[in-house]
Chains A and B, each alone.
Chain A
Amino acid sequence: MDEDAKRARSRRNIAMALALVAFVVLVFVVTIVKLGANVS
């Protein structure tokens, strides 16, 4: 694997990590919002 390929893979991995974190945050906020609606 040459340098270009390594750099591209690294960027893809970072993008995937950010997407996963965003998904977890999204599910968390959805849970809070739905809980809030049910409690009120």
Chain B
Amino acid sequence: MPKPAAITSEASARPDKPALWSDYVQLLKPRVMSLVVFTALTGLVCAPERIHPFLAAVAVFCIAVGAGAAGALNMAVEGDSDALMRRTRGRPVAAGRVSRGDALAYGVLLAALAVALMGLAINWLAAGLLAFTVVFYAWFYTIILKRSTPQNIVIGGAAGALPPVIGWAAATGTAPPEAWLLFLIIFLWTPPHFWALSLYTSEDYAKAGIPMMPVVKGAKSTRLQIFIYSLVLVPVAIAPIFIGLGGLFYGIVSIAGGAGFILLALRLWRSRAGDSPDADSVGREEVLYDVKVEAKSARNLFAFSILYLFALFAALLAEHGLKGTL
């Protein structure tokens, strides 16, 4: 197992600048947390049983805090490699504003509180799934997977896919196949989403020693794999309409969105995105979002993938919310 870079980190030293409370908010990865909250809420609302609205809010809060704790633990461990990448070098540990030890303690404390509250207030299946998610992401993905295989985000994607299952478990105390179908949609969505991003940031990943797919297998192989994953993802995302989980509105969104996803993935496959990463731009934050012309198709798929997942879950949320499930 490769030794995590942060073990020998300069970022582990006491920071020079005082940490602000906003740094501790940033440690929770609020943008990731918002997606987690949204998908968890969808799982909770789609579940066939009702729980008290306040307890439902507590369940979503616990999932959000658990996800935030996993983010803090991830940043604590990855201070060194984060400091090497434009997208991540402003993070509190990487920038030296929060010490690695403080970030670790913060993450462990929040995770423990979130799991304990979930168990005591909701049920222990949801708490167990939440604990598994935090450990899976912060330990298995961050420390073991991320640096050892280009399949890192494929397997690690399970952590990001679990929130709707946790939400469903919070409402019902069970995790039936319908909940795992929501898991599968996010799980299959993750590789094309992240690989599209990594096609135009692969030089940064290479510099940080992270074996992302374009770094290890090359851009051509990555583009093909994105296309194959897209062909598998879209039918799975349409599947809820066949088991009664999704209605007419969801059907329209999933079919139209899926067609768009496959079209963009096809364009990406046939493009030259990632073939000649711009080595001159490495480390220059001001050009992070200046995507080269041939990489536009990767950027388009990356942006559309966020909209696509949001639309799928929003459609489910709207259909089930309007039914008055909650």
Contacts and interface: CB of A to CB of B under 8 A. Distances in A.
Chain A, interface residues (CB within 8 Å), range:
10 to 19
Contact of B113 (A5, A8, A23): A23
B314 interface: no
A26 to B, nearest CB: 7
Interface string B50-85: 001011001001000000000000000000000000
A27 B20 contact: no
Interface string A2-40: 001101110110010000000100110110011001000
A interface majority secondary structure: helix
Chain B, interface residues (CB within 8 Å), range:
10 to 19
Interface in B37-56: 52, 54-55
A23 B65 CA distance: 12
Contacts of B54: 29-30, 33
A8 B58 contact: no
A12 B19 contact: yes
B62 to A, nearest CB: 10
Contacts of A34: 55, 121
Interface in B1-47: 18-21, 24
Nearest to A2: B18
A37 B55 CA distance: 11
A37 B52 contact: yes
Nearest to B61: A26
Nearest to B116: A27
A9 B18 contact: yes
Contacts of B18: 4-5, 7-9
Ranked nearest first, the 5 interchain pairs of A and B with the lowest CB-CB distance are A8-B18, A5-B18, A15-B21, A30-B121, A33-B54
Interface of A: 4-5, 7-9, 11-12, 15, 23, 26-27, 29-30, 33-34, 37
Interface of B: 18-21, 24, 52, 54-55, 58, 61, 113, 117, 120-121
